[in-house]
Amino acid sequence: MRCVIARYPFDLTKNGVLASMKGITPELVTGESVTIGRRRYPVKQVGQVITRQDPRDFTAGEVVRAMTRLGFTCHAQPEAAPVRAATPLQTASALLGAASLDA
């Protein structure tokens, strides 16, 4: 598939992207990401590997568009860990100065 990233044309294939990302350790995902194989990579890291360009030269949207057209699953934000809310009893106990029940 032909796509343009940072004003340069690239001929990308799904197998070519899989081969390029093989053996690459994913960086910490803080924004948009793409699942390649069993791993989840930041889109800027994927763009850097497949284009061999500086990540400042292209946008995440360009890489997301290309990866989606190739059939990879793209994610908008990292999945946040659920926040454990205190029960009313725990809140009242904390306000009265009791020890935390989590400890």
| Average pLDDT score over residue span 75-82 | 71
DSSP class per residue in 33-76: EEEETTEEEEHHHHHHHHH-S-GGGS-HHHHHHHHHHHT-EEES
Domain residues of the chain, as ranges?
2-75
Quick one: 19 exposed, middle or buried, by C-beta within 10 A (0-12, 13-18, 19+)?
A: exposed
Global pTM value: 0.71
pLDDT score of 22:
93
Would the pLDDT of 103 be above 80?
no
Q: How far apart are CA 73 and CA 68, in angstroms?
A: 6
Residue 11 Ramachandran class (φ > 0 left, ψ -120 to 50 alpha, else beta): beta
Give the pLDDT band of residue 78 (cuts 50, 70, 90).
low
Q: How far apart are CA 29 and CA 37, in angstroms?
A: 16
pLDDT in tens, 32-63: 999 999 999 999 999 999 999 999 999 999 99
